[in-house]
Structure 1
Amino acid sequence: MCKGLATLPATCLKSAKDIKHKLSILLQKQDSQEAAQKQNTQKNEATAKRVPTAAEVEKWKESFVHVMNSEIGQAVFTHFLRSEFSQENMDFWVACEDFKNTSTCKLAKKAKLIYQQYVAVDAPNEVNLDAVAREETRQMVETGSLSCFDEAQKKIYLLMEKDSYRRFLKSKLIQDLSQGPNSATRKNLNSDCHSTDIWKGLAGGA
C-alpha cells in the first residue's frame, strides 16, 4: 500500500522540485516568445491595412533598402516571406532591431530568448545560418553585449536581399501592386488564390 511522498528519499523529492522549477521557466520563456511574435504580427497587420501606392511600390523596386526603411514595405515583404515559409528571417531581423533598444539590465535575458527562438539548432523559428556564424553568435550571447547579434543579423539581411528580395520583385504580388489598387488589379488577384490571400491581408480583409 502506498504511504505517500513521506516515504520517498529526499533526493527524489529534490529532483522532482528541480524538474518542476525547470518546467516553470520553460513555460515562462515560451509565453514571452509567443507574446513577442504576436506583437510583431499585430504590428504588421495594422500597418498593412493601408494598401501601398504604385509610387511606393516603384520605390521598393529600386533597392531592398527602400523596402526595409518603409513600415508598409516591411509588412508587404513579410507577407511574401510567409508565403515562402521563411518569415522567421524578418522576425529575427526585427527582434534584433528591438534588441538594440533593450535596457542594460535586460540584455542577457533577452539575448538568450532571441538565441533560443531563432539561432539555436532546432530552434522553433530557426534562421538559416552556417555553423560558424551560429557558434560565434552563441559565444557572443554569453557575453550579453548589445552587439551580440550584429553579425548574424547582417547575414540574414543579406540572405533576404540576395535571395527572397529577387523573387519578391518577380512575384505576381509586386506586379499587381505596381498597378495600384484598382478594380482591374483586384480582378487579376481574384484569379490567383495565393495573391488574393495576401491582398486580403494588406487590405485588412476587405
Structure 2
Amino acid sequence: MCKGLTTLSATCLKSAKDIKHKISFLLQKPEPHAADQKEIKEKTAAAKRVPDAAEVEKWKESFSHVISGETGREVFTNFLKSEFSQENMDFWVACEDYKKTPPSKLAKAAKQIYQHYVEADAPCEVNLDAATREKTMQQVENASPSCFNDAQKMIYTLMEKDSYRRFLKSKLMQDLCQIETNNTLEKKSCDWSQKRQELAGGA
C-alpha cells in the first residue's frame, strides 16, 4: 500500500505500471477472421488506449458518457463479455450504424439485424419483450432508418439500469481508478521533488 507522497517507492510506481499493463491487456480484442482491416486497426487502437482520469470520471457520472465515446464502448463491451451479454452493445452499435445506411440498402441491412439479434432464437438474441419484438418485426417489413428505435431504446435502458450499475462496481473500474490515483501521486511526488530542488538551488 502506498502511503504519503514523500514515501512513494519504486514498488508503488511498479504497481501502477503493472495495473496499466493489465488494463491494456484486458481491453485488447482478438481479431475476427474476416473483417475490414482498417476498422480492426481503428478499434484495436482505441481498445489499447487506457482512458485518462477525465474520461473515467465522466463514465462514473452517467451511462451516456460511457456509450458516447469509442473507448468507453470498448471498455464497457469487455465488461459485458465477462457477463456474457455482449450482444446488447453489439446490437446497439448495429442500430447506430444502420441509421447511416443508404436507402437502397436499408431493407437488406434491416433483415440481417433482425435475424441476428431480434427474432426468437436468433444467434445473438437480445432481451426484448414480446410486444417490442412483434412491433420491430412489422417495421422491418417496411424498412426505414427508425425501424429499430424502440428495440434499441429498450436495450439501452437495460444496459443503463442493470449492467452499468455493476460496471461501476467492477474490478475493471476499480483498476482504472487505481491507475489514476497512482498517476496523481506520482505527479505530485515529482512536483514536490522538483520544488525542493528549486528551493535548494536558490538557497
Question: How does the TM-score come out when normalised to structure 2?
Answer: 0.68
Q: What letter is aligned with 1:150?
A: N
Provide closer, same or farther for how the CA distance between residues 148 and 94 of structure 1 changes in structure 2, counting only shifts above 3 A. Answer: same
> Match of 2:179, SS?
coil
Structure 2 match to 1:111 = 110
> CA shift at 1:146, angstroms?
1.2
The 5 Å alignment of 1:66-145 reads 66-145=65-144
Aligned residues: 151
Identical positions, percent: 66
1:137-170 per-position Cα deviation (integer Å, ceiling 9, x unaligned): 0000001111100000000000000000000001
* Preserved contact between residue 54 and residue 179 of structure 1 (Cα < 8 Å): no
The 5 Å alignment of 1:4-83 reads 43-83=42-82
> CA shift at 1:58, angstroms?
1.2
> CA shift at 1:68, angstroms?
1.0
Q: What letter is aligned with 2:61?
A: E
> CA shift at 1:132, angstroms?
0.8
Structure 1, unaligned runs of 5 or more: 1-33, 185-206
CA distance in 2, matches of 1:91, 1:41: 15
Q: Once superposed, which parts of structure 1, at least 4 consecutive aligned residues long, lie more than 6 Å away?
A: 36-42, 181-184
> Match of 1:179, SS?
helix
Structure 2 match to 1:11 = none
> CA shift at 1:183, angstroms?
7.9
Question: How does the TM-score come out when normalised to structure 1?
Answer: 0.67
> CA shift at 1:44, angstroms?
3.8
CA distance in 2, matches of 1:72, 1:60: 11
Q: What letter is aligned with 1:133?
A: T
Structure 1 match to 2:157 = 158
* Preserved contact between residue 53 and residue 180 of structure 1 (Cα < 8 Å): no
> Match of 1:52, SS?
coil
Q: What letter is aligned with 1:48?
A: A
* Preserved contact between residue 40 and residue 91 of structure 1 (Cα < 8 Å): no
> Match of 2:58, SS?
helix
> Match of 2:49, SS?
coil
Provide closer, same or farther for how the CA distance between residues 97 and 40 of structure 1 changes in structure 2, counting only shifts above 3 A. Answer: farther
CA distance in 2, matches of 1:132, 1:85: 24
Structure 2, unaligned runs of 5 or more: 1-32, 184-203
1:89-127 per-position Cα deviation (integer Å, ceiling 9, x unaligned): 000000000000000000000000000000010000000
CA distance in 1, matches of 2:39, 2:126: 17
